[in-house]
Amino acid sequence: MTQRLHLVFGGELVDPSGTVFRDVEAIHMVGMFPDYASAYAAWKSEAQRTVDNAHMRYFIAHIHRLRDEEQPASPTEELGA
């Protein structure tokens, strides 16, 4: 069975029209979710909770799309570059 993991995270942005965080150390990791529906519910809850701060943004990262574990990694990828 294939898992479709999703990470929900957010924080305060430098500019509300961008995606650069003001303080990377202060990013709020909401959690990892097994499907999009539960990730969306968590995202919506956090987004509504922080609606009064125009610089706060939450995101859903589709972790399952980042890489195919069956494919070998390149030497550069293994070094983290």
* pLDDT on residue 3: 76
Rg (CA), the chain: 15
Answer yes or no: pTM beyond 0.85.
no
Looking at residue 50, its pLDDT comes to 94
- Do residues 45 and 60 lie in contact, with contact meaning Cβ atoms separated by under 8 Å? no
**Which pLDDT does position 68 carry in this prediction?**
62
Sign of CA dihedral 67, 68, 70, 71: negative
Domains of the chain in sequence order: 6-79 (3.30.70.2400)
Report d(CA 63, CA 65) in Å as an integer.
5
Mean per-residue pLDDT pooled into runs of 10, the chain (81 residues):
86 95 96 95 96 95 77 55 44
